[in-house]
Structure 1
Amino acid sequence: MQNLKELDTEYVRSHFSALNGKWAFLENAGGTLTANQVIQRVQNYMSHFHVQPNHFYKPSQDAGILMANGQAVAAEMIGAKQDEVMISPNTTASVFFLANSIRRLFSEGDEIIVTDLDHEANNGAWRKLAEFGLKIKEWKFCRDNGSLEIETLEPLLSSKTRMVCFTHCSNITGAINDISLLVDRIHDAGAMACVDGVAYAPHRPIDVKLWDVDFYFCSLYKIYGPHLGIFYAKKEHIENATGNNHYFLDDNLPLKLNPGGPNHELTSGIVGIGDYFSTLHDHHCVSEKNTLLDKVNELSALISNHEEKISQPLVDFLTKSQSIELFGPKSADSMLRAPIFSFDIKGHNSAEVVKALDLDEVGIGSGHFYAPRCLKSLGCKLNDGLIRVSLVHYNDSNDVIRLIEALEKLI
């Protein structure tokens, strides 16, 4: 028996109840469908263990174990230790929690670098620290390729730079930034690296230790899981941070940074993400891997190759049309981009395009996608925004064909 050479899309789609053949779901960067394994885990918790966890009676103890298992899977899937990962409502909340916890580590005149490419989640909270005397600098992305370049970072770095906040992958242009190169340079400058991995995580493995990031954020509801966020912080940063929680939890990592506890049933449901990827691994690969990250790593080539393959006809269509302007890399190459495609159609309001495709049961998105600074730098009108199509590995070639046919009717 050998590893499968291509992703078995029919098998993948069998794990998502919503993929019944009726709708083409193509706005996945805003939130993916939830794997059946996650739904089952949440239902099991709410049906049998929905009590206050960690008291000294068995159902309560069992509830605490299920939540701890969810915390463990969240850490394992990104290569972190369990006490380095916090579960939050979403990434915007995660960044605000972190900014409030570590702002006392900075002094007046210290500098934080943010970008005009990022989702506002990794922007607004840091910019607000100007109220406490910090200097905020903006790192502008390259409009031609939609990515951040180290050459434009260099002149912004100084002896006062304390942190650089940037996105691993743009939720608008789809461009993937070279995280290893950037983090190394940021550390050489004596600063911390704070990375938004939300748009990257549905498509590639995450290894926070390999990249040596100081902080890394993900949204689990964009990785086939429950509506939660997670963020990683190096343990020494958590220990040095001021607690957001009750004073008697200051030594309880990572609850220290969370103003309250995580959602019980959804935390237990995180285990379902591990179930899903383990099931995919066992179906496609014959080797035995110990950790969830190892399994996702082995699946990675199959997933990225599939996403690139189904994206190619869409890129060809978008780049050849005289009526369409595609932002970001003009390529389906999975080394350069995730399959997130934002574009304009001349003479068409973006929201009206989405409404028109609704009639064909093709779901896409429009707007600024919480990245208005990016759209402004691209020269786009915020009141109209852009059209966005975002694919993941459960999409297939038929989804893309339906999309292209629906767009052709408009232009």
Structure 2
Amino acid sequence: MTRLDLDFIRAQFPAFEEPSLQNWSFFENAGGSYACTQVIEHLNRYYRQTKLQPYHPFPASERAGQEMDQALSRLASYLNVGEDEIDLGPSTSQNTYVLAQAFRAILQPGDEIIVTNQDHEANSGSWRRLSESGIVIREWQVDPQTGYLDLEVLDQLLGDKTRLVTFPHCSNIIAQVNPVAEITRRAHAVGARVVVDGVSYAGHGFPDVKALEADIYLFSLYKTFGPHQGLMVVRKETREALANQGHFFNADLVHKRLTPAGPDHAQIAASGGIIDYFDAVHTHHFKDQPDAARRGHQIHDLFQAQEKALMAPLLEYIRNRNDVRLLGPDTPTDRAPTISMVVKGGGRAAAEKLAKHGIMAAGGHFYSFRLFEGMNLDPAAGALRVSFVHYTSPDDIEKLIKALDATL
């Protein structure tokens, strides 16, 4: 198996050369990753050369529109979906809210939506509010001991009135990777659509959305080394069924229907830098040059192999402590490297102690308030969360373990 060249990878991120960040190890990647240099260069160039309205008939405006279109097209190709199935909006939270309004218009009182209490509130609260329109909300609850979602519990909730099932690809606290394709098949069997929150997954390698069979897949580009935009894939059949949320005269424009606010042109264009980075990683590590979807698979596997190797010593260290409670799987298999721990004194206090040792981490409930309640944990105390991605080094992991040893 190809091994990740960490020196090459870290050279793509200016943060690792930033003087103010020296002697710090970054473990809050689940909240937002470092931006790669390709994105920063795109953004810089856009603001210098094309900071104006795109798509007008003069060169700078035409170039601005072309950069935006190319970004969407290239992102779609890596996700293995059509360009007309992808949109960028201000954030995943905002995109989910807009989607909920689009579904509100096509649902009837008595129709049912299944939500989970494992989700970040962004993929829960907007759907729950539809109860105000007579929609029945059913909660797929986690096991209170493990925090996992049980497929047999889902089967008991699914029925002929189920119209939508919403769930995370993986929780931003538990981090177990849920079987998206299997959940989707079960939902489709009763005629329901699925909305998958991929925010806590996509930073560890873009998924093949076509293979997952999800109707809607959402994640945040600022957690995948890019600008602060939320990406949503809405498959064509579902998009056509949803009510227009844009201006009435834009109803037939595919990229206007679900983005009622004016887009951030510069950040959309800059998101193409993520694909520049992925292409550079692929060219450096692989001899072949397959299509974009296949390159995405190879990069996904490359990133995840590195992350699992980094997780192993940290999880072993935590398993050997009797004064912390690890939330989620205790081995690297089928989990993301978002490691949450219940510790004495609360998560934020522990993060403050780690900061004195050069560790950037965070504590809290991280908008998964319902999950903490479902596991009989105190959301106010929250958890200590240390999260990393493929650019994290083994030295960072060793430093974190030493800091945990000194502070817990």
The two structures have a TM-score, normalised by structure 1, of 0.96
Ranges in structure 2 where 5+ consecutive residues have no aligned partner: none
1:304-343 aligned at under 5 Å gives the runs 304-333=304-333, 336-343=334-341
CA distance in 2, matches of 1:201, 1:316: 25
- Residue 169 of structure 1 is matched in structure 2 by 170
Confirm whether residue 44 of structure 1 aligns to residue 42 of structure 2.
Answer: no
CA distance in 1, matches of 2:260, 2:44: 26
1:300-327 Cα shifts (integer Å, max 9, x gaps): 3322111111111110111111111101
- Give yes or no for contact 2:187–2:194 (8 Å, CA) kept in 1: yes
Q: Structure 1 residue 298: deviation in Å?
A: 1.2
SS of aligned partner of 2:218:
strand
1:31-90 Cα shifts (integer Å, max 9, x gaps): 100000000001010011111111111111111111111221222221111111111011
- Residue 99 of structure 1 is matched in structure 2 by 100
The letter for the 1-side match of 2:337 is P
CA distance in 1, matches of 2:48, 2:23: 30
- Residue 276 of structure 2 is matched in structure 1 by 275
1:10-409 aligned at under 5 Å gives the runs 10-20=7-17, 21-291=22-292, 293-333=293-333, 336-346=334-344, 348-409=345-406
- Give yes or no for contact 1:340–1:391 (8 Å, CA) kept in 2: yes
* More displaced stretch, 34-43 vs 146-155: 146-155
- Give yes or no for contact 2:71–2:269 (8 Å, CA) kept in 1: yes
Q: Structure 1 residue 290: deviation in Å?
A: 2.4
CA distance in 2, matches of 1:389, 1:96: 28
Q: Structure 1 residue 384: deviation in Å?
A: 1.6
CA distance in 2, matches of 1:264, 1:9: 32
Q: CA RMSD in A?
A: 1.2
Report how many residues are paired: 404
CA distance in 2, matches of 1:152, 1:72: 38
SS of aligned partner of 1:127:
helix
SS of aligned partner of 1:342:
strand
Q: Structure 1 residue 262: deviation in Å?
A: 1.5
- Give yes or no for contact 1:147–1:170 (8 Å, CA) kept in 2: no
Ranges in structure 1 where 5+ consecutive residues have no aligned partner: none
1:259-317 Cα shifts (integer Å, max 9, x gaps): 123101100101100000100011111011221x3212112332211111111111011
The letter for the 1-side match of 2:149 is L
- Give yes or no for contact 1:318–1:326 (8 Å, CA) kept in 2: yes
Q: Structure 1 residue 145: deviation in Å?
A: 4.1
SS of aligned partner of 1:6:
coil
CA distance in 1, matches of 2:231, 2:310: 29
Percent identity of equivalent pairs: 35
- Give yes or no for contact 1:351–1:366 (8 Å, CA) kept in 2: yes
Q: Structure 1 residue 143: deviation in Å?
A: 3.9
- Give yes or no for contact 2:346–2:384 (8 Å, CA) kept in 1: no
CA distance in 2, matches of 1:304, 1:207: 14
CA distance in 1, matches of 2:348, 2:30: 17
- Give yes or no for contact 1:144–1:328 (8 Å, CA) kept in 2: no
